[in-house]
Structure 1
Amino acid sequence: MKTSTDELLVLVAVIDSGSITAAAEKLGQTVSGVSRALTRLEKKLDTALVRRTTRRLQLTDEGEAFLQRARAIIEAVEEAEESVARGRQRPSGRLRVDAASPFMLHCVAPHMKAFSALYPEIRLELTSNERTVDLLEQKVDIAIRIGTLPDSTLHARALGSSKLRLLASPAYLAEYGEPRSVDALREHRLIGFTAPEHLNRWPLRVGRKEESLKIEPSITASSGETLRQLVLSGWGIACLADFMTVADVRDGRLVPILGNLLADQRQPVAAVYYQSATLAGRVQCFLDFIAARVRL
């Protein structure tokens, strides 16, 4: 690399200030020093960047093109320096994280003691909403959302995806029997969501084209955690994501059913946030932490 960043800074300062004298004052250098740096840059590039007249300085065509690149390089260097500086500082301040209650209970809350041990100066505020929240209105820094994200101005980081399964408790199956077909399933007590309606379409292969079954629930609830508790109590059958039920299945509290007819449907999970220089450090460390802990 022939050119130094100091020479690029001189060129930008001269153009932005309108004169070598003003640039020297801005940079805290001598006029002769700035003039020599500009001349040295032109010699290295073997081209004139600035036309000097008694009244003003004017960029040549080559100077115009080079100035744009010089600004981009300076901006990139400053951004890199700021990133390193942030890395040396311990993230601190309030961080408000929102998630649907099942994800908060099963995937966030269990890891927050470890997070606070790593970042004791971050003051966490955890909130739960079953519906999509407006980050600015609710003063939320990070929202963890389950399902396909709509187009928006928010930044997003994918955390993975979670498979959907039909589940019932051993007690329910002992009392009512296990359904072996879609038609038999219709005769059972089904647990569904109050809203949104699409959550009451279960990923079962129905016919050759359609790969979902619209259910008529016997009882509905707004929270996936409430559905989980209903299933655990033996009330009926529900369609729930692995992230909140994997331990129940492993320990025998819940039993997957109709696996042979189940389509491989997964719910994407992502963290969304606004880009903010003030928040960048604590947002980034939380995202890195939760992505490493939550294995979806």
Structure 2
Amino acid sequence: MSQPSDMAAFVRIVETGGLAPAARDLGLTPSAMSKQLARLEARLGVRLLTRTTRRISLTPEGETYLARARDILLLIEAAEQDVTAGRGRPGGLLRVNTGTAFARHRLIPLLPAFFERYPAVTLDLSVTDRRVDLVAEQADVLLRTGPLGDSSLIARKIAEGGRVICAAPAYLERRGRPATPDGLLSHDCLVLRGLSRLTAWPFRTATGLQTLTVRGVATTDSAEALRDMALAGLGIIRVSAFIVARDISEGRLVPLFEELHVSEDVPVWAVTAPGRHRLPRVQAFVDFLARHAAEW
């Protein structure tokens, strides 16, 4: 086996949590995988992993080697993709992670056009509303809305939208339509759990910006579930406009305080790890989304 193969085997062992699952992923036997790891450690003269019958853990040297190994493997893959891209269109497996609402309302409707343009690309789409570790999830691209924290990752803004406050006609008939923003304090306002900034709804008033901290009968960790709750008549929501645009246009939800509500900008980011952003399939995917953002 070559040095890059030993390096790739080590990274896969760490990512899958053991020799046996890594061997299955790479089409090898656990014995062959163990030999690759032993050869790598012998060549380096250090132990990279501490192994017990139940788990493996990285040594300090292993942690250092893992970070550099991932970078090197990405550069090798990018170099090979750059060379082969000249023979045809971008190809290979593209791993994308995004939230439920963005996947349903923005990404999935675009996929037929993407595959028509790039037929050599295959997609592994992971959909979750929890925060994920891009490296641990082995994703090529994370698609996220809203502000990003400080990070060494590479983020490209591909679109920008706003937020809207709305409720179902059935809810407004039952509870009445709030006449002023202050009236929201006596209504059921449904919010995303764990995001305190989204419980503070901003409005323009004669005396300046007013922020109301709202509450209601239910919270959720899913923007798509929040939309479903509003459609069921449970309360008033404030979400990214793209999530409810069709519901509003077809009358299933009614916008509130359009003139007074400060909608705020909601950026959409494509986040990649350093090195991986140069892969042709990743570049093609991110560029494709950015080109179609104007249609959103």
TM-score > 0.5 by shorter chain: yes
* Contact 1:167/1:237, CA 8 A, preserved across alignment: yes
* Contact 1:155/1:275, CA 8 A, preserved across alignment: yes
* Contact 2:202/2:211, CA 8 A, preserved across alignment: yes
Aligned counterpart, 2:42? none
How far, CA to CA, are the matches of 1:86 and 1:113 in structure 2? 22
* Alpha-carbon displacement from aligned partner over 1:37-95 (angstroms, at most 9, x marks no partner): xxxxxxxxxxxxxxxxxxxxxxxxxxxxxxxxxxxxxxxxxxxxx96973553211111
Amino acid in structure 1 at the alignment position of 2:213: K
* Contact 1:99/1:143, CA 8 A, preserved across alignment: yes
Shift of 1:119: 1.5
How far, CA to CA, are the matches of 1:136 and 1:268 in structure 2? 22
Aligned counterpart, 2:217? 218
Aligned counterpart, 1:22? none
* Contact 1:179/1:258, CA 8 A, preserved across alignment: no
Q: Tell me how many residue pairs correspond in the alignment.
A: 216
Structure 1 unaligned residues grouped into runs of 5+: 1-81
How far, CA to CA, are the matches of 1:212 and 1:145 in structure 2? 25
How far, CA to CA, are the matches of 1:246 and 1:87 in structure 2? 41
Amino acid in structure 1 at the alignment position of 2:180: S
Shift of 1:208: 3.6
Are residues 175 and 151 of structure 1, via their aligned partners in 2, closer, same or farther at CA, if it must alter by over 3 Å? same
Amino acid in structure 2 at the alignment position of 1:90: R
How far, CA to CA, are the matches of 1:212 and 1:277 in structure 2? 41
Amino acid in structure 2 at the alignment position of 1:174: E
* Contact 2:82/2:279, CA 8 A, preserved across alignment: no
Amino acid in structure 2 at the alignment position of 1:136: V
Are residues 130 and 112 of structure 1, via their aligned partners in 2, closer, same or farther at CA, if it must alter by over 3 Å? same
Query: Where in structure 2 are the equivalents of 1:10-89 lying within 5 Å?
Result: 86=85, 88-89=87-88
Are residues 167 and 269 of structure 1, via their aligned partners in 2, closer, same or farther at CA, if it must alter by over 3 Å? same
Q: Does 1:130 align with 2:129?
A: yes
Shift of 1:272: 0.6
* Alpha-carbon displacement from aligned partner over 1:15-51 (angstroms, at most 9, x marks no partner): xxxxxxxxxxxxxxxxxxxxxxxxxxxxxxxxxxxxx
Aligned counterpart, 1:201? 200
Query: Where in structure 2 are the equivalents of 1:76-225 lying within 5 Å?
Result: 86=85, 88-205=87-204, 208=207, 210-225=209-224
Amino acid in structure 1 at the alignment position of 2:228: Q
How far, CA to CA, are the matches of 1:133 and 1:154 in structure 2? 13
TM-score (structure 1 length as normaliser): 0.67
How far, CA to CA, are the matches of 1:94 and 1:279 in structure 2? 15
Aligned counterpart, 1:268? 267
* Alpha-carbon displacement from aligned partner over 1:156-193 (angstroms, at most 9, x marks no partner): 11112221111001121122211111221111111111
Are residues 278 and 151 of structure 1, via their aligned partners in 2, closer, same or farther at CA, if it must alter by over 3 Å? closer
Q: Which runs of 4+ in 1 moved over 6 A?
A: 82-85
Aligned counterpart, 1:233? 232
How far, CA to CA, are the matches of 2:83 and 2:251 in structure 1? 48
How far, CA to CA, are the matches of 2:218 and 2:291 in structure 1? 36
How far, CA to CA, are the matches of 1:290 and 1:260 in structure 2? 30
* Contact 2:165/2:257, CA 8 A, preserved across alignment: yes
* Alpha-carbon displacement from aligned partner over 1:252-278 (angstroms, at most 9, x marks no partner): 111111223211412111101023369
Aligned counterpart, 1:245? 244
* Alpha-carbon displacement from aligned partner over 1:186-243 (angstroms, at most 9, x marks no partner): 1111111111222211122467455422112321010000000111111110001111
Are residues 229 and 182 of structure 1, via their aligned partners in 2, closer, same or farther at CA, if it must alter by over 3 Å? same
RMSD: 2.3
Are residues 277 and 143 of structure 1, via their aligned partners in 2, closer, same or farther at CA, if it must alter by over 3 Å? closer
How far, CA to CA, are the matches of 1:156 and 1:251 in structure 2? 34
Which has the higher Rg, Structure 1 or Structure 2?
Answer: 1
Shift of 1:107: 0.5
How far, CA to CA, are the matches of 1:255 and 1:100 in structure 2? 24
* Contact 1:211/1:263, CA 8 A, preserved across alignment: no
How far, CA to CA, are the matches of 2:180 and 2:107 in structure 1? 36
